[in-house]
Amino acid sequence: MVKSNLLEIFRKFSSKELKEFGEYVRSPFFNKNQSIIKLYEYLKKQYPEFDGKKVEKEYLYMKLFPGSRYNDGFMRTIMFNLAQLAEDYIAYCNYKSNTFSVKRHLAVELNSRDLRKLFEKNMREINSMLDKVDVKDGDFYYNRFYMEYENLYYLSKLHFDKNEKFIYKTGIHNIFNHITYFYLIRVLKFYLYVLNTKNIYKVDYKTDIIEDILKGFKPALYKDVPLINIYYNLLMLYIKEEDESYFFKLKGLTGKLDDLPYDEKVETYINLENYCKRKIRYGKKNFAGELFEIYKQELENKCYIIMGVMPHKLYKNIVDTALRLNEIDWAQKFIEDYKKEMPEVHKENTYLYCKGIIEFYLKNFEKALEIMSKVKYDEIYHKAEMKCLIMAIYYELNIEDTLLASLDSFRHFLTNDKYIPDDRKLNYLNFIRFLKKLNNLKNGNNVNSADIKLFKVSIENDEHLHSKDWFINKTSELLQTTA
C-alpha cells in the first residue's frame, strides 16, 4: 500500500485539508460506511510519514478489524472507496476555490428549474462581479460568453415564440465576440508554446489550422483586447523573425503590463527573452544588451516566479548575459541574492555552475574547473553547455590530451542525442571543429599570423558557433603572440 493512489493523495494534503477531509468522510451525505471512516482515522494518525509496515494492507487490516481473518478483497474495496472520496474532495476544493464558477453553476441550475426571480438576482450579481474585473484574460471572456448565452436561453424560454420581445436587447454580437476573444487568446498562446517547443527540441506538430487563421488575421479588430494583440505580436517574433519592429513594439508595452494576469506578463517576458537569444545566436550582438534590460525589468517587477520559484534555467541565463556584457560584479551579487529563489532540486548545481562561469570569466581557470567538477546535470542543454565550458577550461590550462579526448566524447554525445534540433546541434559541432583548430594553431609548429587571421575571419563569418565571442578573443590573443 506504500505506493497506493490513496496514500499519494494523503501525502499531498495539508494538515488543514486532512482535518477537513475527515469532516467530509464522516458526513452521511457523502459516506455511510463505518469501515471507511475507520480507515481514514487510522491513516490520519500516520500523517505525514506513512511509515512502511504501518500502512501495509495486512497490518492495517489487523489494526482496523482485530480478531478478523484478513480479507484482501474487502481491504482493497474500502481503500478504493476512500480514495474515491479523496478525489471527490479535491474536486470540491477546486470548485469552491472559484467564486465565479460556483455562481455560474448556480445560475444554470436556477434556470433549468425555472426559478426566475432567483436566476435574475444571480445574473445581476454575476454581471456586477464581471464588471469589476480588471484583468481581462481568456477566462474573463469565456465567463462573459457563458453567462450571456445562458441569459439568451432564459429569455427565449421566458418569451417563447416571441423573439421580438428580447432579440434586440440581448447584445447577441457580444456572445460571438466574447467566445472568439476567448478562443483566440487560448489558441494564440498555445501556438506560441508550440513554436517555442519546436525551437528548443527536434519535434514537429501539424498546425495547418492556426496557420490558416493567422493568414487572414486583422489586429485592428482586436484593439480593445490587449492580450490578443500581445500574443499576435509575440507570434510574429517567430513567424516574421527578421522584422525587429514587433520586438520593439512589445518592448514598449512591458511597462504597461500591470493590467494583465501575472502568467501573461511572465509569458510576454519569456518570449522577448527567446527572441533576443535567437538574434544573439545569429550574430546580432546588440541584442545582448536588450536581453539584459529585459532580465532586469523582470527582476524589478518580480515577474520571474513560476510555480513558486525562479526557474534554474532563468537564473543561469541571467548570469550568462551579465557576463557577456562584462557585468561581473552584478553577476556575483545576483547569484548570491537569488540563489534561495530556485527550486531545491536544482539550487546547488545551478549555483555552482554559475560560480564556475564567473571564475572562468575572471580567468581563475583552475578554480573554475574545481567548481565545475562538483556540478551534476541531467538536462540536455545544461549538460552540453557545461561540456563546452569544461573543454574551454582545458584549453586555457593547456591540458591538451584531456581536451582532445573530451572533444571526441562530446561529438559522440551530440551524434546520439535525438532531441537537440539541427541548428543548435550545429552550434556545438562547430564548437568542436573550431576548438580543435584553435588548439592546433596554439600548439602547432610553423603557425603564422596569416593562418590565424584567416581562422579569425572564418569564426566571425560563422552564424552557428557556440561561445563565438570567446573564440574571437582567443584568436586575438594568438595574433598578439605572433606579432
Each residue of 445-474: pLDDT tens digit? 777 889 999 999 999 988 888 898 899 999
pLDDT digits (tens, 9 = 90+) for 250-298: 887 766 666 678 888 888 898 899 899 889 878 788 999 999 999 999 9
Rounded average pLDDT over 98-120: 94
pLDDT for position 167: 66
pLDDT category of residue 420 using cuts at 50, 70 and 90: confident
CA distance 51 to 45: 11
Beta bridge partners of residue 306, listed in sequence order: 309
Q: How many CB atoms lie within 10 A of CB 390?
A: 21
Q: Which of 337, 397, 388, 338 is nearest to 367 (CA)?
A: 397
Average pLDDT across the chain, whole number: 90
Helices 449-461 & 422-443 angle (0-180, nearest 10): 170
pLDDT digits (tens, 9 = 90+) for 124-166: 999 999 999 888 889 999 999 999 999 988 988 887 767 666 6
Rounded average pLDDT over 409-426: 87
Rounded average pLDDT over 83-96: 96
Rounded average pLDDT over 27-54: 93
pLDDT for position 204: 82
Rounded average pLDDT over 15-26: 96
pLDDT digits (tens, 9 = 90+) for 427-438: 999 999 999 999
pLDDT for position 196: 83
0.75 cut: is pTM over it?
Answer: no
- What single letter denotes the amino acid at residue 190? F
Above 90 in pLDDT, residue 406?
yes
CA distance 421 to 428: 11
CA distance 342 to 307: 11
Is the N-terminal amide bond of 219 cis, ω within 30° of 0? no
> What DSSP state is assigned to residue 254?
G
- What single letter denotes the amino acid at residue 466? H
pLDDT for position 164: 64
CA distance 273 to 320: 13
CA distance 323 to 317: 10
The length of the chain, given as a count of residues = 483
pLDDT for position 289: 96
Burial class (CB in 10 A: 0-12, 13-18, 19+), 297: middle
pLDDT category of residue 359 using cuts at 50, 70 and 90: very high
C-beta separation of 391 from 414 below 8 A: no
pLDDT for position 95: 93
**Residue 130: all three cell numbers together:** 464581471
Q: How many CB atoms lie within 10 A of CB 333?
A: 12
pLDDT digits (tens, 9 = 90+) for 180-200: 999 999 999 999 999 888 877
Structure-model confidence comparison of residues 174 and 380, the more confident one: 174
Rounded average pLDDT over 360-372: 96
Q: Label residues 4-25 b or e (16+ Cβ within 10 Å = b).
A: bebbebbeebeeebbeebeebb
CA distance 63 to 57: 10
Please state, for a pLDDT cut of 90, what percent of the chain lies above it: 67
pLDDT for position 90: 97
CA distance 471 to 476: 9
Please state, for a pLDDT cut of 70, what percent of the chain lies above it: 96
Q: How many CB atoms lie within 10 A of CB 66?
A: 7
Q: Which of 435, 429, 338, 421 is nearest to 393 (CA)?
A: 435
Max Cα-Cα span within the chain: 98
What DSSP string runs through 83-108? HHHHHHHHHHHHHHH-HHHHHHHHHH
pLDDT for position 462: 87
pLDDT for position 42: 95
Q: Which of 264, 255, 209, 213 is nearest to 234 (CA)?
A: 264
pLDDT for position 1: 57
pLDDT category of residue 381 using cuts at 50, 70 and 90: confident
